[in-house]
Structure 1
Amino acid sequence: MAISPGSDAAFSGQKPTHSESPRSKKFLLTEEEIFYMSCRAAYLTVFKSSLDNIISKDQLYLALQHAGRNPSQKTINKYWTSQTAKLNFDDFCIILRKEKPTSKAELLKSFKQLDVNDNGSILHTDLYKLLTKKGEKMTREEVNAIINLADVNADGKFDYIKFCKLYMATNEQCLKTTLEKLEVDSKLRRQQFGSHMEGSPERAPSPVPKASPRIIRKADQESFSNKGDTRNSSLATARQFKTSVSFTVTMGADSNQNSKLIEPHSIKEWQCVQSKGCFFLEEDGEIISHQYKMQIAQRSLVYITIKPLSLSQAEGKPSPWLSVDTALYILKENESQANLQLLYFTELRNRETFGWTGELGPGIYWLVPSTTGCRLRKEVKPITEEAQLVYRDETGELFLTKEFRSTLSDIFEVIDLDGNGLLSLEEYNFFELRTSGEKCDEDAWAVCRENFDTKKNELTRQGFMDLNLMEANDREGDPRDLWVTLHSMGYNKALELTEACPFVIDIYADKCKPRIKAVHMEACSGQLEKAICKSVLNKGNAKVMDGYENIIIYTYKRDTWITAVIENKSDDKVIIHVNNELSENCVNNRGLGIFAVEVAPNSTMIGRLVIGQNGILSRLLYHASLERSKPSVGSF
């Protein structure tokens, strides 16, 4: 189930309390800013700066502990594999979004599984057996360290109720202490928000709150121990060379280019194909979408558009996805999928429709949809009442509610990619991969055709409804599996589509009938990021940072959006600190006005994507400073 950013705000399960400083009174922090500040608070109990990297499993374990998580060895191994050399602060934030904080109720429930006498304690002898022989086995020395905790052990028993109170109190104090340090130390606060403007003098490490012991989980009865030493966790692998460099770009909404999308005059005579798709917002904020192959049989004038798909929403319910920006990048396949050449993208606009028109030769092209993510974000409003999905009549027979049937009908519209009113096995499998992670094979599809309404070996809308009703009947009316499907498709508990954006692609050609086929559903990264960077480098305005001819910031603007790309031509890694807090009427894809971007040697990276509020972009004030890192000799 998708959650709002605010649910990650505090690692003890409660929102952090900020001191009533003049700054906190003047600037009310958003839920997203609270989350990132809390992430930094945990990170800074282990590292001197949020720009330092995690370079070992022990550091990752300790940082997660300070964030109120209960990382098992399995969890650590999931994020630190044999190929992992380091994790940065952004990686840490992504992990915290995925790994939820442990509540006191969950702690107690886990321990109760081991409390055979139900008296609030566990015998030391039983604790030895559990922790040295089950789950992730601990050594006797590690178990002794737990039993020697004076506050929670007495008379040969481990008092887990006291331990839970101590654990939660320690987490809360750890977070509070570091947040207060951030609030008091203005230089440190600016640095941790990525706007550090000048070199900071070396200072002695601050006192670090003690991390909470690890706890036992219900799933695998994991051991708990207090690993790691913060004195060893702040070892630096690179010496930092910081220089204050100002770089300001002020932009208006006007553009010298004609950005109006105009249909070709003879388009009614052209041949047309259509395909639908969807952007889905993941738990960690990543966006995935369908990707397509397009075939053009002979050289033709081509007109391609993409726009959000309008669905039949119940009266009074919002349709937030209709304001989501969309784009389509057109890449030419040369010999292999790995060798794709960016040709064009849909930069022209007519209201919510973005498009491109021009001539394409015969061949295979990739169409990669994109959205900035500025308006496709985790929803923040709480849902007070959960919609009803099923009900029973007076005879006890199970039915789908009218509201749920309407939602299923909309889902059918989204997954019916070719728009023929039927679901092929290929279309259905995109839905299955999204909701269950598994494909339906030919045998299972044959059974489906035998039991549900089909036409031409494809599933009808009614058949899709009956399939969901059967799933409810299999669970005797329990709707939990149905909710898994709904959340995967971007719906909240009120049956509002808030964390997905369905779209439709139309392709017209004057000489031949184009063909389009969805081939993947993947994260909007990799080839897409390369395509965006190349498009901005080709068309954007370049400005060299003062005194650093190898650091160039490219900005490409239209009437409603701006993309900034940073190019690092040097042999050193650089960190660009960006501050656009003074921008007006702007929404950005990072959610914060102040952040840092790390750019590897001889590479490019998207600095940010910005679109205007209500379709109007007033002013973007882009202030950057640079920090350059060189490898150190030895360690210190």
Structure 2
Amino acid sequence: MRSMREKFPDFRWRRPEQGRASLCECWFCVDVWTWRMASTPGNQKARHSENSQGKKSQHAEEAIFYMNCRAAYLTVFKSSLENIKSKEQLSLVLQQAGRNPSQKTINKYWTSQTSSLNFDDFCAILKKEKPPTKNELLEAFGKIDIDKAGYILHDELCKILTTRGDKMTWEEVTSITNQADFNCSGKLDYNKFCELYLTTSEQCCKAARDRLETDPRLRQQHFGNQTENFPEGISLPVSKPSPRVSRKTDLKLPKADSRAPSRPSSAQSSKASTSTTVTVGASSSSSTKLIVEPDTMKEWQCAQCRGCFYLEEDGEIISHKYRLHLPQRSALCVTIRPFTIPQAERKSCHWLSVDTALFILKENETQENLQLVSFTELQNKEVFGWRGELGAGVYWLLPFTTGCRLRKVKTQISGEAKLVWRDEDGELALTKEFRAALLEIFETIDLDGNGLLSLEEYNFFELRTSGEKCDQEAWAVCKENFEMKKNELTRQGFLDLNLMEANDQDGDPWDLWVTLLSLGYNKALEMTEACPFVIDVCAERCKPRVKAISLEAGGSQLSRAVCRSVVNKGEAKVLDGSENIFIYTYRSGSRITSVIENKSENKVIIHVNNEQSKNCLNNRGLTVFAVEVAPKSMMVRIFYCLANFREKQVTSLYFLFEGLLS
């Protein structure tokens, strides 16, 4: 019998490697001498911004400016809390921001008294050192090209660069002219060169921004809380859990009154330091007690759907999303809880302590136009629920977890589990441990819990493990070779399919490990980077229908929902010393969420210190960190949950906000 690979080669694909964004290699040595030319005596002019139609608002420009600052800074440093410690680092990070300062400019900001510069200093320097415009560059070249020929001879250029301004060596100049000679005739067409200069500068900045946007570990680095501006004026980050970061107990943040003496005076005068402490003590949960199955619900009609949170390599959490259809108005009870896999009942399943929540959004006309209805704030042990009444229509159910427990952790695995073995006849067979893991996986991907895998359910598995879908033709091949009932794959069929894959590779377990690792298993066959859950929807007057529609990150809709839920339900506190900065804190069951709203005209950097907190974890993995909030915006990015999930009270939780107000 031919294998499925032979019958239908495209039936299964390996999961593609997730590449990292890379920065373009820019020949910025050319940039350097152009800046020097523009800075020589007689060429310096006061810079002014060019007015253009459709200019963005001041607040939007400010937000874009600080996004570019973060992108450039995190290209050179691992964190925005790291300081610039040398002239070379200062020059490099300025180049990443599209500036190429002369040595005179570097010396202006790095004096003999300077020991370090921080992120705020860097932003202040960028505000002063504007990039040159094309007109300014052309004017600088025009000072040399007296005949207005449109080009400059290399010999003439070399003489200027080696004798005026910040003098360059002949080797440096030769390297530049070799790269900048567009017509290979010993002449520099400076019009083309200026276009290339500006394009290269923008490409460098764009590469830094793209790297920040595509790498969550950079986007969520301390100050780098990437925000999105929504129509309603609320700026939110994409809802992703914070990646694992180094836990340094001796980490100290720079205080407002202890900056380096060389700090630019403009930055120093625009800062003010204030602090406030938000304390969340023990609270009774009796008012939020969830009664899962009261007598009045015995006759209600219910629908159930399973799903899973998966932890990506970059620390992002993805999960299934669902669409709920109600044919008529009805009272509802909606719950979400970690799913206890039957095969794993006797194991110590860490995912049972992963905090879960579910946000209910109403679909209005389009899938993009979703309105928050409510979320699961009632609790009964690991079960979180919501009770209320909904009208007829289509709703979205967005699962959520903070990332406080489901995160990347380095664990020492003594040995790699064996997946296959050969019997006395030399035939391959699955080991007992691998069979048990596959049965766990089957229960997780059997979304409707009927003991069979439909093509739609199987495709969620395929998308997660290989990045490809199985079409009807491939499913027909599967039906010919593996056990099915009612056109759905059985447990035995699923086991045989994986055995076939092992045979196709002649016992090489590489493909099998790709599947296991993508589903959250480690080399010891323990599920450490995934959390299966189950959603129940019970309606009084109609039969609800719940269907999984995607497997992806929460995105802006979930971020917006989390923010609105905290602002609507949380306690607001004004940051001491600043009437325009509000801290919203909301406690629900085992989860505590903080939202920072900045109503001022300037960005604000908030230092968060909860070193005194007990019995809690945060999604950043640090007790001391900093966040940045753009002007006229709101940011939700600080999540806490109980370290001991089964404890009903928080021993103590302190948020010490030290505000550095721009």
3-state SS of paired residue (1:378)? coil
1:252 aligns with 2:314: no
2:419 and 2:425 map into 1 onto residues whose CA distance is 18
1:422 is matched with 452
Q: For the Cα contact (< 8 Å) 1:94–1:284, is it kept in 2?
A: no
Over 3 Å counting, the alpha-carbon distance change for 1:43 and 1:278 in structure 2 is farther
1:300 to 330, 333, 341: 330
Number of the residue aligned with 1:124: none
Per the TM alignment, residue 306 of structure 1 is displaced from its structure 2 partner at its CA by 0.4
- Cα pair 1:254 1:559 within 8 Å, conserved: no
Corresponding position of 2:425: 395
What is the CA distance between 1:448 and its match in structure 2?
1.3
Shift, 1:85, TM fit: 4.0
| C-alpha separation in 2, matches of 1:566 and 1:412 | 42
Match of 1:495, SS?
A: coil
Alpha-carbon distance between aligned partners in 2 of 1:256 and 1:323, rounded to the nearest angstrom: 18
Contact 2:379 2:589 in 1 (8 A): no
Distance of aligned partners of 1:363 and 1:40 in 2 relative to their CA distance in 1, 3 Å threshold: closer
Partner of 2:412: 382
Question: Which amino acid is 2:660 matched to?
Answer: E
Q: Is the 8 A contact 1:55 1:85 kept in 2?
A: no
Q: Distance in 2 between the 1:545 and 1:521 partners?
A: 39
In structure 1, the residue matched to 2:271 is: 242
Does the alignment pair 1:441 with 2:467? no
Q: Deviations over 1:534-587 (max 9, x none)?
A: 001001111111232221100111353211100112232221111111111111
Q: What are the within-5 Å matches in structure 2 for residues 87-106 of structure 1?
A: 93-94=217-218
Q: Any idea what SS the aligned residue of 2:325 has?
A: strand
Partner of 1:624: 657
CA contact (8 A) 1:564 1:609 kept: yes
Residues 242 and 388 of structure 1: is their aligned pair in 2 closer, same or farther, counting only changes over 3 Å? same
1:36-87 Cα distance to aligned partner (Å, 9 max, x none): x9767987567679x999636999xxxxxxxxxxxxxxxxxxx989586476
- Which AA in structure 1 matches 2:262? R
Q: Sort the Cα spacing of 1:53 and 1:199 in 2 relative to 1 into closer, same or farther, 3 A.
A: farther
Aligned counterparts of 2:380 and 2:516: Cα–Cα separation in 1 = 32
Mean Cα displacement is larger for which, 434-443 or 292-301? 434-443
Q: 8 Å contact 2:213–2:219 — kept in the other structure? A: no
Change (3 A) 1:549 1:438: same
User: How far is 1:375 from its partner?
Assistant: 1.2
Q: How does 1:65-464 map to 2 (within 5 A)?
A: 85=209, 93-94=217-218, 190-191=252-253, 196-198=255-257, 200-203=259-262, 241-255=270-284, 258-263=287-292, 264-313=294-343, 317-464=347-494
The one-letter amino acid paired with 1:477 is: G
Q: Counterparts of 1:442 and 1:572 in 2: how far apart (Å)?
A: 56
Q: Deviations over 1:477-519 (max 9, x none)?
A: 0001100100000001110111100000001001000001111
Per the TM alignment, residue 429 of structure 1 is displaced from its structure 2 partner at its CA by: 0.9
Equivalent runs, 1:518-597 vs 2, <5 Å = 518-597=548-627
Matched, 1:55 2:97: yes
SS in 1 for 2:328: coil
Shift of residue 241, structure 1, vs aligned partner: 3.5
How far apart are the structure 2 equivalents of 1:459 and 1:555?
A: 47
Q: Bigger shift: 377-386 or 529-538?
A: 377-386
Identify the match of residue 494 of structure 1 among 521, 524, 530.
Answer: 524
* Higher radius of gyration, 1 or 2: 2
Q: Offset at 1:605? A: 1.1
Q: What is the correspondence of 1:600-619 to structure 2 with a 5 Å cutoff?
A: 600-615=630-645, 616=647, 617-619=650-652
Q: Aligned equivalents of 1:344 and 1:459: distance in 2?
A: 37
Is the CA contact (8 Å cut-off) linking 2:98 and 2:205 kept in structure 1?
Answer: no
> Contact (CA 8 Å) 2:96, 2:208: kept in 1 or not?
no
Query: CA offsets, 1:338-376, max 9 Å, x none?
Result: 111111100100000000111010000000000111111
The SS at the match of 1:555 is strand
Task: After TM superposition, give the deviation of residue 303 of structure 1 in Å.
Answer: 0.5
* Aligned residues of 1:54 and 1:86 also touching (Cα < 8 A): no
Quote the RMSD (CA, aligned, Å).
Answer: 3.6
Any unmatched runs of 5+ in structure 1? Answer: 3-36, 60-78, 98-178, 205-234, 630-636
Distance verdict in 2 for CA 1:434–1:573, change over 3 Å: same
Q: Secondary structure at the match of 1:469?
A: helix
**Alpha-carbon distance change, 301 to 237 in structure 1, aligned in 2, over 3 angstroms:** farther
**Code of the aligned partner of 1:260:** K
Q: Deviations over 1:95-121 (max 9, x none)?
A: 999xxxxxxxxxxxxxxxxxxxxxxxx
Q: Secondary structure of the equivalent of 1:567? A: strand
Alignment partners' CA distance in 2, 1:514 and 1:279: 23
Change (3 A) 1:520 1:315: closer
Residues 196 and 48 of structure 1: CA distance in aligned 2, closer, same or farther (over 3 Å): farther
Change (3 A) 1:545 1:372: same
1:133-190: CA deviation from partner (whole Å, max 9, x where unpaired): xxxxxxxxxxxxxxxxxxxxxxxxxxxxxxxxxxxxxxxxxxxxxx9xx99xx9xx62
Please name the residue that 2:237 is paired with: none
Shift of 1:315: 8.1
User: 1:91 and 1:624, CA in 2 relative to 1: closer, same or farther beyond 3 A?
Assistant: farther
Classify 1:266/1:478 alpha carbon distance in 2 versus 1 (closer, same or farther; 3 Å): same
Matched residues in 1 for 2:205 and 2:480: separation?
A: 45
CA distance in 1, matches of 2:214, 2:270: 21
| Conserved? CA contact 1:253–1:558, under 8 Å | no
| Conservation of the 8 A alpha-carbon contact between 2:278 and 2:655 | yes
Supply the distance in 2 between the matched residues of 1:594 and 1:92 (Cα, whole angstroms): 20
How far residue 413 of structure 1 moved from its aligned partner, in angstroms, is: 0.5
Q: Given that residues 302 and 510 in structure 1 are in contact (C-alpha distance below 8 angstroms), is that contact kept between their aligned partners in structure 2?
A: yes
State the TM-score, normalized to the length of structure 1: 0.66
Structure 2: gaps of 5 or more residues: 1-13, 16-76, 102-202, 222-245
| Cα distance in 2, alignment partners of residues 392 and 329 from structure 1 | 49
Measured in 1, the distance between the counterparts of 2:396 and 2:95 equals 36
Other-structure match for 1:515 = 545
The alignment-based identity, stated in percent, is: 57
